[in-house]
Amino acid sequence: MSDAVVPHRLEPNAQASRSGTGWLKRALDSDIFYSFRRSRMTMVAAAVTILFFLLAIFASQLSVQNPFDPAQLQLMNSRISPLWTAEGQSPFLLGTDEQGRDVFSAILYGLRISLVVGVLGVVLAGTLGITLGLIAGYFGGTIDGLILRIADVQLTFPAILIALLVNGVAKSVFGNRLDAMSTLAVLVVAIGLSFWVQYARTVRGSVMVEKNKDYVAAAQLIGLPAPKIIFRHVLPNTMGPILVIATINLALAIITEATLSFLGAGMPDTMPSLGTLIRIGNNYLFAGEWWIVAFPGIALAGLILSINLLGDWLRDALNPKLR
State which residue, 92 or 262, has the beta carbon closest to other proteins.
262
Number of residues that bind other proteins (CB under 8 A): 37
User: Binding to other proteins by residue 157, rule CB under 8 A?
Assistant: yes
State which residue, 84 or 286, has the beta carbon closest to other proteins.
286
**Interface pick for other proteins out of 50, 153, 185, 218 (rule CB under 8 A):** 153
> φ, ψ for residue 30 (rounded to 5)?
-70, 160
Q: Alpha-carbon distance 257 to 188, whole Å?
A: 9
- Compute the least distance from the CB of residue 201 to other proteins, in Å: 17
Contact 230, 157 (CB under 8 A): no
Q: Alpha-carbon distance 83 to 55, whole Å?
A: 20
Q: Alpha-carbon distance 206 to 234, whole Å?
A: 9
AA letter at 98: E
Considering only CA atoms, which of 78, 109, 111 is closest in space to residue 95? Answer: 78
- Compute the least distance from the CB of residue 212 to other proteins, in Å: 17
Report the chain's C-alpha Rg in angstroms.
23
Sign of the CA dihedral with 243 first, then 245, 246, and 250 last: positive
Contact 245, 129 (CB under 8 A): no
- Compute the least distance from the CB of residue 188 to other proteins, in Å: 18
State which residue, 9 or 321, has the beta carbon closest to other proteins.
321
Considering only CA atoms, which of 10, 230, 27 is closest in space to residue 132? Answer: 230
Considering only CA atoms, which of 257, 124, 119 is closest in space to residue 189? Answer: 124
- Compute the least distance from the CB of residue 173 to other proteins, in Å: 5
User: Binding to other proteins by residue 305, rule CB under 8 A?
Assistant: yes
Q: Which stretch binds other proteins (CB under 8 A): 29-37, 204-212, 220-228, 304-312?
A: 304-312
Q: How many CB atoms are located within 10 Å of the residue 150 CB? A: 14
State which residue, 196 or 234, has the beta carbon closest to other proteins.
196
State which residue, 116 or 294, has the beta carbon closest to other proteins.
294
Q: Alpha-carbon distance 250 to 304, whole Å?
A: 8
The interface with other proteins within residues 160-199 (CB under 8 A) comprises 160-161, 164-165, 167-169, 171-173, 176
State which residue, 245 or 278, has the beta carbon closest to other proteins.
278
State which residue, 134 or 293, has the beta carbon closest to other proteins.
293
Residues facing residue 96 across a β-bridge: 102
Residues facing residue 102 across a β-bridge: 96
- Compute the least distance from the CB of residue 157 to other proteins, in Å: 7
Q: Alpha-carbon distance 229 to 234, whole Å?
A: 6
State which residue, 189 or 265, has the beta carbon closest to other proteins.
265
The interface with other proteins within residues 241-300 (CB under 8 A) comprises 251, 255, 258-259, 262-265, 278, 282, 285-286, 288, 290, 293, 297, 300
Rule CB under 8 A: which residues touch other proteins? Answer: 153, 156-158, 160-161, 164-165, 167-169, 171-173, 176, 251, 255, 258-259, 262-265, 278, 282, 285-286, 288, 290, 293, 297, 300-301, 304-305, 308-309
